[in-house]
Chains A and B, each alone.
Chain A
């Protein structure tokens, strides 16, 4: 079956679905955002889910990012390096 004009846009993705009657149909779903990345090393972040705004609004604040400084912004390795470099710079000035 031809999709209706609103579903022909490239912002939809097609998902084949098996019906109880034994046929196969296509469901048109919205595309979601991509995974969050570290601001420094660009590796994918752990503990940060990705989804449409309607899904993310239902989650709690603590389930969207790790409970650590630079939680949803930097990976754990890069945040440790910044803490070390800040500590060294602080005691050098004194």
Chain B
């Protein structure tokens, strides 16, 4: 059912509900697909057959056809009317071509690979790392002592004589007046 040239509808993903055309059949239930970008905003990429719903429309296309060829065949066979859309203008075609060029150039750039370590040297490295960890501890202690900000030597505080004004004159010991004895 799903062969090269079959128009389908995507059911899953960001592009769900949009028309696309099958360009190539891959192994294990996958398929490459474009609705040409300028027509339906579906990019040229791999898709799972379970996420496609076929329609009764089939078109004769070469395997791996480009978007421009597909749009020419669409105009020839009057498929834009069936899909309910208009053929794209030249601005939209050029914008779609630039997008595809950027995608193709980004794919060709080599991805930065992580530093590969040979698997045989892993075990001694673990032990060496443990030793390094132990060695690091005294290094921490050997750091230069932090310089504390020099505290300004303050003059010893002289406590103000709080009670200077309140000092009471020393009282002379009281002498009790002797009471006359009753006779």
Which residues of A pack against B, CB within 8 Å?
67-69, 76, 79-80, 83-84, 86-87, 91, 94
Contacts and interface: CB of A to CB of B under 8 A. Distances in A.
B12 A67 contact: no
B82 A84 contact: no
A76 B12 contact: yes
Contact of A91 (B13, B16, B56): B56
22 contacts: A67-B14, A68-B13, A68-B14, A68-B16, A69-B16, A69-B17, A76-B12, A79-B16, A80-B11, A80-B12, A80-B16, A83-B9, A83-B11, A83-B16, A83-B17, A84-B11, A84-B53, A86-B17, A87-B53, A87-B55, A91-B55, A94-B82
Given A67-B14, A83-B11, 20 more contacts: A68-B13, A68-B14, A68-B16, A69-B16, A79-B16, A80-B11, A80-B12, A80-B16, A83-B9, A83-B16, A83-B53, A84-B11, A84-B53, A86-B17, A87-B9, A87-B53, A87-B55, A91-B55, A91-B56, A94-B82
Contacts of B55: 87, 91
Q: Which 7 A-B pairs have the closest CB atoms?
A: A80-B11, A83-B11, A87-B9, A69-B16, A83-B17, A84-B53, A87-B53
A83 B18 CA distance: 9
A93 to B, nearest CB: 12
Contacts of A80: 11-12, 16
Interface of B: 9, 11-14, 16-17, 53, 55-56, 82
Contacts, number: 25
Contacts of A83: 9, 11, 16-17, 53
A94 B9 CA distance: 16
Nearest to A76: B12
Contacts of A79: 16
Nearest to A81: B11
Nearest to B8: A87
A22 to B, nearest CB: 34
B57 to A, nearest CB: 9
Contacts of B9: 83, 87
